Amino acid sequence: MERFVLVLVVLACFALAVWGMRVGWRRRARSQSVLVPPFPQVPEEPGEPLLEAPGLYVSTTTAGNWQDRIVTRGVGLRGRAVLRRYAGGVEVDRAGAPGFWIPNEAVAGIRRGSAIAGKVMGSDSLLIITWRAGEVELDTGFRGDDHGSYPDWIESLGSEIKGGAQ
C-alpha cells in the first residue's frame, strides 16, 4: 500500500509540473502577443525562388538574446521547414505550422551562429536572420540540411542590407 501511495504522489507531482509548464507557456504567449506584432504573411505571388534550403526551423528570439524565445502566434515550436529566398524577401515555410514572411526591408542582418533557443551547436551550423517586426528586432534561427549553401544566403540577403551582412 505504501508503494501505491508513493507512485500516486510522484504522478501527481509530474502532472503538476506539466500543468505549470503549460500555464507558463500560455502566459508568455499572451504577454508577447502585445509586444510582438503579427508576422507578415507570404505574398500570394512572391515570384520565382532565388534560393531554397530545406532544414529545421529552430526558433525566433528577441535579437541579441538567444534564449528569449518568441512563443506567440505559433512560432515557438521548432520543426521541419523550407527557407525560400525571393526578390522581395524570405519565406519560412514550416511543415504543420503557419509559415511567415521576412520582407527585405525588415532584414537587419544575417550571420552564422552556434546557439539560439532550442539548439546549441559546436560549430556555426545555424543561419540566423535578424529582422524587424514592427518596433521589435528579432532573430530567426534555421539549421539547413546543407550548410554549404549558407554563404549564398549571406551574400544574397547581405546585399539587401545597408552596409552589407553582419
One pLDDT digit (tens) per residue for the chain, 166 residues: 789 999 999 999 999 999 999 998 788 777 777 788 888 888 888 889 999 999 999 999 989 888 888 888 778 888 999 999 998 999 999 998 888 999 999 999 999 988 888 778 778 889 999 999 888 899 999 999 988 899 999 998 887 775 444 4
Return the pLDDT at 83: 94
Return the pLDDT at 35: 81
Return the pLDDT at 122: 74
List the domain boundaries for the chain: 1-35, 51-158
Return the pLDDT at 165: 46
Among 152, 105, 112, which Cα is nearest to 131's?
Answer: 105
CATH code of 51-158, in short, is 2.30.29.30
Q: What is the pTM of this model?
A: 0.81
Cα separation, 159 vs 165, in Å, equals: 7
Q: Which residues contact 143 (CB under 8 A, 6 or more apart)?
A: 55, 56, 58, 119, 121, 125, 126, 127
